[in-house]
Structure 1
Amino acid sequence: MTAQELILILDRTVTGSQADLENARNFLAKAAEQNLPELLKQLSDILNTATNNPTARTQAALQLKNALYSRDDIKAFQDRWLLIPEDVRNHVKNNCFNALGTETTKPSQAAQCVGYIACAELPRGQWRDLIERLVTNVTTVGRPDNIREASLEALGYICQDIDSNVLVPQSNVILTALVYGMRKEETNDHVRLAATTAMLNSLEFTKNNFQNDSERHYIMQVVCEATQSTNLKIQVAALQNLVKILTLYYDYMEYYMGPALFAITMDAMKSTHDEIALQGIEFWSNVCDEEYELQLLQQEAQDQNRQPERSSRYYARGALPYLVPVLLQRLTMQEETDDDDDWNPCKAAGVCLMLLANCAEDTIIQYVFPFVSENIKHTNWQHREAAVMAFGSMLEGPDVASIKPIAEQSIPFLLELLRDSNVAVRDTTAWTIGRIFEFVSQAVMNDELLRALGNALVNRLADEPRVATNICWSFSSLARAAYDHAECPEDDDTPNTYLLSPFFDEIVKKLIETTDRPDGNQSNLRNAAYEALMEMIRHSPKDCYVTVQKTTVTVLDRLNRVISAESHTANPNDRVQIGDLQSLLCATLQSVLRKMHPNDAPLISDPIMQALLQMLKSNSGKASAVQEDALVAIGTLIEVLGSNFIKYVEHVLPFVYEALNNHAEYQICAAAVGVVGDLSRSLLDKLAPYCDHIMTHLLNCLGDDKLHRSVKPQILSTFGDIALAIGGYFKKYLEHVLNTLNQACRAQVAKNDYDMIDYLNELREGCLSAYTGIIQGLRNSVAPAGDSTLALVELQLVTGQLPFMVQFIETIARDPNKSDSIIGSAIGLIGDLVTSYGQQMIEYVERDPIDKLLTEGKRSKIMKTKTLAMWATKEIRKIKNN
């Protein structure tokens, strides 16, 4: 097709009718399928021809971007681009680069195209001169401002999307351009803003520059100067830079805090422009976050009798006398029309105050409490609400002994404010009462106060949705606090009674009524009411069991009504609401099931199972969260019924297999894997007849590269559950499973990708669980004739894997990024191997990494890990002594 024809089609994607739009899109999709390289060439020609109309150029760039990048599968799109012949790629790259600064619309579409191509090519050592050419565009005197701005935007896109390690070797060159564009001498605000925004995206890979005093001083100087720009957007972008610099390079900030940063951020917090004020508050919130983390690390080092690697400079504590008054003033600036979802300086100030309280602990009280006392009865509602918000914000942080007397004194005022004429005051008061239950529950744990608070809260459940939502949250906190405060009989986790027992039934009844409110979909009220109901049930003592039984019947009745309503509903919006309600009822059902007496559960399990199977049936073949929730609820029923669940197995497994095949909706697949684990733990060897199908489905899941990675560790762990359940029967699957584990144990990830490091820990933990289950399952095997030597024979099936298993444990032991839970799992496997193989293990356990891992386990703060380490050490000592 000619360029003119393509321009006409691109125009139609914006200016034509709906039919024109669809036809144009289909035409472009077909052209991409038939000859993508040729299409990209033509699109880049249109983009680079300045005389073409702006709409066609913009749409050409958009189509180019769509061919270069997809958020869902970045790698596949980059690989596809790299397979295009080099001459075509060079043609497209030159066109995109040459189009920089020639567009009449902002931001530059060509800059985004350059950025996406760079993210595909730079990591693979291609387009090597790009960065230098962009920098030259910025720093060459006399180059047009449009080109300089677009080149800075391109640098910003590259810095934002690429793996930061790729740019480290060129960080000096890139910073030269960014600092040059940010200087106060720069007369073009568009250029300066583009440079400041790009600087924000570059901070991750400029670590070496920040370690150098002179370079750091210069960067900090231009950023601080940019905060004084008269252009609002430049000011905001410069402040965003300071916020990020503080987080990334806290240890270098002492030199700048007193002379510059303190004054800049304090002025920003007082600004009449919300965007600027928010950045000033965010700066100090990040200071608090960083210093709280450093306090925890310092405490940990102290406990282990060593020096901490980094220390807090206590900026937040030092700034308290100046920060708190500004934050309190901000709290009084709320508007009647403030939307719950809008983030504004008033809300940010409340969060900052909470973080400050965590950092400053008892010291915060002297700065906040006078404001609370002066304003709690103020005639202006903004001041009353600010006083309650300030009080609620400072509850977490100070020592309970310091805050308890103040909390006790506050109760009469809070009870009165729950009836305040202003809805915002009532809302914040309900939230603050919940905070008292959460952090200073000792202040209210007596009959008289709880009765007064309980009555007031129950009455307020009828208030406006936003208030009622916080009342529900308060009940959730109260249920946990009362339960923790109660005394349990010996050898029993459940107390006989607690302080809420006299009005437990009334609270549950009112919460159930609240879930039925016609306005329950406002302010998340229905969800909050069900959540509170679940917490009340979870934290119920023995003398409230009758209410638990009644609630079970109520929930089941509602579930059946909702299932029935679904079959008569055609409206898509109504179906979504019904689906949400089914999910909430499933979650509530789990709470009541966990509190059921073992003798009672089988009496009601038939109708429950019938309802859950009906939900699975009516949502079969759909992408529905209801399937996931129903499967999770079935998992709970399996736990509660134990081996009695066997009568439902054949009814449930077809839905489990369907869910295991649903690799696209990976949460549903994961829920089905969870059900298989629950069945293994409850049915034990009764599961053996069904395992051929189950194992086939699980191995198919692992073989699908498109299945979301989060499901795979769970499947490996489930192999361990099955092996432990069926013992010697598992040997028929052993070869496949051991090969799979072999591959999984060899997985590696980039050391700077924290998400992938977490995933690797999960994957390895799944492998350890599988090995542990296999070893224990084979060891515990006994032949039908009672031949206990069978276990020893079957363990020999895994003997050949011992060197590999120990090598895997050593790899984990050497990994500085291993999680606490993986240490416990690895040590548990060591203990099992020693117990199972005895003398054969001596050569393996006398190795330095194993020894260090056991020492690390003994020092762990997690009691389970510590216990496992002591046990494994004892087992090793036994075989050495023998």
Structure 2
Amino acid sequence: MDNITPILKDAQDPDNNIRLAAEGKLKQLQERNRSNFLLSLSAELSSEASPPECRCLAGIILKNSLEGKYSEDNSLLIKQWNNLDPCIKSQIKESLLITLGSSAPQARHASSQIIGRLAYIETPSERWQDLIGRLLGNMAQQGASPTLKQATLEALEYVFEEENLWFDKDTINGVLDAVIRAMNHQAEKSSEVRLAAVKALRNVLTFANFANDDDCRNRIMTAICDAAKHDEAAEIKHAAFVCLTAIASNYIMELEPYMETTLSRTTEALGLEGGVETVALECIEFWSTICGEVIELRERKKRFAHAIPSADCHFTEKPLCLLVPLLLQTLSLHQERDVDELNIFMSAVACLGLVARTIGDAVVPLAMQFVEGNIKVADWRSRKTAISVLGVMLEGPSIEKLAPVVGLLMDRMEDPHMEVRGTAACTLGRVLELRHSPALDKRFFTNEDFPRIMAALSKSGKDVPEVSKEVCGAIYFLARGYDVAISSEVDHSKKRISSELSPFLGGVIDALLSASELDMKTPFGLPASASAYGALIEVVRVSNIWDLKAVLAIIVLMPRIMRRLNTVLDAKAISSDDKTNKHDLQALLCDVLHAIIEKLGNSLHGDKVRESAPFMLLQFCRVLTCDCSTARDKAALTIGALARAVGPKFLDFMPIFLQYYSVKLFSPIYLEAIGTIFHALGDEILPCCDHMMDVLYEGLSQPELKPQILACFGEIALAIGKIFEEKYLQAVRKELKEAANPRYYDEDKVDYGNQLRQGICKAYSGILRGIKDRKSGLKVAADLVEFIEAVSEDKSRGTSVTYAAVDVLDQFGFTAESWKEGLISELWRHVCCRCSKLDKLHR
């Protein structure tokens, strides 16, 4: 056995040369004789004469020799350990057990970890049968030092960390006895030992018969609840609540007899001063886990009513009602003054929300008492906390019970403090997100409330940015609540409800434009208000186009957005932040105009879009030239929407578009817009066809564009049918055959090959549906069959390719059926004509 102390010391030397040389020596020792090297490490770890830092490093290297970062490393290291001489392994294990009694904390800790790792390796094959007995012997040893007990319990913690191991009932009971005895405050005076015992119990719990053995369960719960008492050290109380949380997540139904005791420990843990942060957080986590388990159980019972036992968790309702005042008290004591208090505050808020979902209406009177007592006090933090409470209890209680919430929020929208107003707006947004929908039998707010809500939103949208951002979110959810399909025959009530927004649309739009106002001197000084524009898009999208007030508001909005986009396009962005903000604004403004065009384009007021079409098209084309792909794609999509809205008359504006029609601007979305333009113009696009097709042919030379261009050919064929058949079919067939060439489908091009084949399938699909001549169609069909045969033989094809091939064959089946009917009709006419001529001859 080598003396490796000097080498381990040099391996920690600040001098880089000395350290690297020592590391090289350690590697040589390991490669030369692994058994001797591991034995030397274990001896170093157990030697009281060695420096603590050397013992610590020896423990780290020994542990890393048994456990790797990845599963394949682990398999190799386990195999290497198993191949060691049994005598060497026994000596190493004995050294580890001896080290548990060491005076050096780091050596004891390393030894505990390594014992746990070896237990995982050796227990399944029963090669360390006396391990648990030796550890329990340490605990029962007369006069055993606290350090030995602490290290032994830590070793037990690591041994039982692996849930896949198996131990017999007697072994588990023996371990439980030792652990619970060590947790006893009277029998064990050392707080370090008691803490180690509670941590060990957390892992031993997995192996105990907690669910079915009443005596075992009572002993465990009594020990844990005693460890969570107020007079224990904070670390012990925290570890005790960790155990309770683990029990709650696995044995919720077995906790009924202990709810009163755990609630008492909660009262002590949170305390009049709010408790120690770590203890308070884990205590709150315990109750959050209980609520989560109850909610999940109820959801499972709803989905699988016949499969889930009828047992419920009604026993949790009373303690949860008693918990609510404790959580509210905790919120009052930790009103976001520093990071630690913020952690407790947010945890208590989240827990209160889960409690509300669990006990429903029962939470309302408890919470409202707190809210009413704090929402008008002088301290703005207390007012903000009261509003936060309103926000987290929205999901559980009924709408009737929550009726006062709207009035309270409206009052706080006028609060003198910015943060209170912002929180009120955010909470109103949450109300609208969760509880506002015409589909609901009962609405959250009354007809009398609605004008006040709209007035508050319109006014607060012009507040400081911190508030207006939350107001924009509230408007977004308000509008989304009207997102229902309105038919002319059925949904008259929903149509009426949607129209209630119309009288307020102008004020809401003004508020959103104010919240996203550009600074004329530095338009990009602030980031683009995505929330304002998102809300604006939603308002436009759900507005009732048959309501004159709504239509007028949108018609007025369109030039205002156009002017804003023009300002953004003309302004110069110098810094990188300015450029980012400019690109964001271009994308968002294109999105807004897209929504306006789609809303007005197919209505009786489509002429307003057509009048502004050339100006808008020029703006969108300018966006196409920017160096932001997102903005370019948004502009391309909006150009497609504009073409659909204008229809065949879009041909008048094609000279503008063709100035920006080039391969360098092509992208998948841009090419999608090309297909949309062809569909919108139909045969009217003929004067532009040759040029547009020539540019598409040019783009085929760029591999990354080829799949999308081929798919675009299919859309063009579907849009212009006979023109495509007469002028471009032969050239496109040639390109499709070339694209099917095996050279595109090498092993290193699998992803690209899949994309290309999907593009080919889309092309054939559009062509076969678009062309009218059956003879030409049969030729294309023959090409398709040849392509599909080649695809079917390629085992490396992606699933998406298979789906695309099946889809195009399915569509071809319908096309072929129509061809068959046409051929039969033509043949029948021919027969009838011949018969008529023969009949005349016979006469």
Q: Assess same fold via TM > 0.5.
A: yes
Is the contact made by 1:385 and 1:425 (CA closer than 8 Å) also made in structure 2?
yes
Letter in 2 for 1:454: S
Cα deviation for residue 279 of structure 1 reads 2.9
Match runs of 1:85-484 below 5 Å: 85-87=83-85, 93-102=93-102, 104-106=104-106, 108-119=109-120, 122=123, 127=128, 129-160=130-161, 162-164=162-164, 171-172=172-173, 174-184=175-185, 185-206=187-208, 208-228=209-229, 230-258=232-260, 260-270=261-271, 272-301=275-304, 306=306, 308-309=308-309, 311-335=311-335, 337-339=337-339, 343-403=342-402, 405-417=403-415, 419-420=416-417, 425-441=420-436, 442-443=444-445, 446-461=450-465, 468=466, 471-484=468-481
Structure 1 unaligned spans of 5+: 462-467, 521-525, 567-576, 617-632, 658-674, 703-714, 742-766, 790-882
In 2, Cα distance between the equivalents of 1:108 and 1:459?
58
> Secondary structure of the equivalent of 1:437?
helix
In 2, Cα distance between the equivalents of 1:506 and 1:312?
49
In 2, Cα distance between the equivalents of 1:285 and 1:426?
29
Cα deviation for residue 54 of structure 1 reads 0.9
In 2, Cα distance between the equivalents of 1:38 and 1:5?
17
Cα deviation for residue 376 of structure 1 reads 1.4
Range with greater deviation from structure 2 (241-250 or 779-788): 779-788
Is the contact made by 1:723 and 1:777 (CA closer than 8 Å) also made in structure 2?
yes
Cα deviation for residue 19 of structure 1 reads 7.3
Match runs of 1:355-754 below 5 Å: 355-403=354-402, 405-417=403-415, 419-420=416-417, 425-441=420-436, 442-443=444-445, 446-461=450-465, 468=466, 471-485=468-482, 489-490=486-487, 499-500=504-505, 502-504=507-509, 506-508=511-513, 510-511=515-516, 529-530=529-530, 533-534=533-534, 536-537=536-537, 540-541=540-541, 543=554, 595=595, 604=620, 608=624, 611-612=627-628, 654=704, 696=746, 728=785, 729-737=787-795
Letter in 1 for 2:80: L
For residues 627-666 of structure 1, the C-alpha deviation after alignment (integer angstroms, 9 at most, x for no partner) is xxxxxx9776676666889789769855999xxxxxxxxx
Cα deviation for residue 86 of structure 1 reads 1.9
Is the contact made by 2:184 and 2:223 (CA closer than 8 Å) also made in structure 1?
yes
Structure 1 residues 52 and 778 mapped into 2: Cα distance closer, same or farther (>3 Å)? farther
Is the contact made by 2:237 and 2:279 (CA closer than 8 Å) also made in structure 1?
yes
Letter in 2 for 1:322: L
Letter in 2 for 1:366: P
In 2, Cα distance between the equivalents of 1:141 and 1:678?
83
Letter in 2 for 1:151: T
Cα deviation for residue 329 of structure 1 reads 1.8
Is the contact made by 1:537 and 1:548 (CA closer than 8 Å) also made in structure 2?
no
In 2, Cα distance between the equivalents of 1:450 and 1:731?
62
Structure 1 residues 535 and 38 mapped into 2: Cα distance closer, same or farther (>3 Å)? farther
**1:83 pairs with 2:80:** yes
**Alignment partner, residue 641 of structure 2:** none
Is the contact made by 2:699 and 2:706 (CA closer than 8 Å) also made in structure 1?
no
Range with greater deviation from structure 2 (597-606 or 427-436): 597-606
Cα deviation for residue 223 of structure 1 reads 1.4
The alignment yields a C-alpha RMSD, in angstroms, of: 5.3
Letter in 2 for 1:311: A
For residues 723-766 of structure 1, the C-alpha deviation after alignment (integer angstroms, 9 at most, x for no partner) is 7887753543434547x89xxxxxxxxxxxxxxxxxxxxxxxxx
Range with greater deviation from structure 2 (284-293 or 25-34): 25-34
In 2, Cα distance between the equivalents of 1:533 and 1:548?
10
Is the contact made by 2:710 and 2:736 (CA closer than 8 Å) also made in structure 1?
no
Structure 1 residues 268 and 720 mapped into 2: Cα distance closer, same or farther (>3 Å)? farther
Sequence identity percentage: 22
> Secondary structure of the equivalent of 2:371?
helix
In 2, Cα distance between the equivalents of 1:735 and 1:586?
47
1:61 pairs, out of 36, 59, 62, with: 59
In 2, Cα distance between the equivalents of 1:582 and 1:93?
67
**Alignment partner, residue 622 of structure 1:** none
Is the contact made by 1:138 and 1:151 (CA closer than 8 Å) also made in structure 2?
yes
Letter in 1 for 2:338: D
Structure 1 residues 345 and 610 mapped into 2: Cα distance closer, same or farther (>3 Å)? closer
Structure 1 residues 311 and 588 mapped into 2: Cα distance closer, same or farther (>3 Å)? farther
**Alignment partner, residue 728 of structure 2:** none
TM score, norm. by length of structure 2: 0.65
In 2, Cα distance between the equivalents of 1:29 and 1:517?
62
Structure 1 residues 502 and 379 mapped into 2: Cα distance closer, same or farther (>3 Å)? closer
Structure 1 residues 613 and 276 mapped into 2: Cα distance closer, same or farther (>3 Å)? closer
Cα deviation for residue 269 of structure 1 reads 3.0
In 2, Cα distance between the equivalents of 1:451 and 1:128?
77
Cα deviation for residue 327 of structure 1 reads 1.9
In 2, Cα distance between the equivalents of 1:146 and 1:188?
9
Letter in 1 for 2:324: V
Is the contact made by 1:41 and 1:91 (CA closer than 8 Å) also made in structure 2?
yes
Range with greater deviation from structure 2 (83-92 or 276-285): 83-92
Is the contact made by 1:362 and 1:399 (CA closer than 8 Å) also made in structure 2?
yes
Cα deviation for residue 532 of structure 1 reads 5.6
Cα deviation for residue 193 of structure 1 reads 0.9
In 1, Cα distance between the equivalents of 2:5 and 2:278?
45
In 1, Cα distance between the equivalents of 2:290 and 2:154?
29
**Alignment partner, residue 839 of structure 1:** none
> Secondary structure of the equivalent of 1:327?
helix
Structure 1 residues 320 and 109 mapped into 2: Cα distance closer, same or farther (>3 Å)? closer
Cα deviation for residue 283 of structure 1 reads 2.4
Structure 2 unaligned spans of 5+: 437-443, 544-553, 599-612, 633-665, 678-694, 719-732, 765-783, 821-843
For residues 657-713 of structure 1, the C-alpha deviation after alignment (integer angstroms, 9 at most, x for no partner) is 9xxxxxxxxxxxxxxxxx9999999999998865767765688689xxxxxxxxxxx
In 2, Cα distance between the equivalents of 1:651 and 1:231?
73
In 2, Cα distance between the equivalents of 1:89 and 1:166?
22
Structure 1 residues 583 and 342 mapped into 2: Cα distance closer, same or farther (>3 Å)? farther
Is the contact made by 1:434 and 1:474 (CA closer than 8 Å) also made in structure 2?
yes
Cα deviation for residue 110 of structure 1 reads 2.3
Letter in 2 for 1:48: S
Structure 1 residues 221 and 407 mapped into 2: Cα distance closer, same or farther (>3 Å)? closer
Answer with 1 or 2: which has the greater Rg. 2
Structure 1 residues 411 and 10 mapped into 2: Cα distance closer, same or farther (>3 Å)? same
Cα deviation for residue 369 of structure 1 reads 1.4
Cα deviation for residue 388 of structure 1 reads 1.9
Structure 1 residues 311 and 197 mapped into 2: Cα distance closer, same or farther (>3 Å)? same
In 2, Cα distance between the equivalents of 1:484 and 1:677?
41
Structure 1 residues 307 and 582 mapped into 2: Cα distance closer, same or farther (>3 Å)? farther
Cα deviation for residue 249 of structure 1 reads 0.3
Letter in 1 for 2:102: T
In 2, Cα distance between the equivalents of 1:479 and 1:223?
48
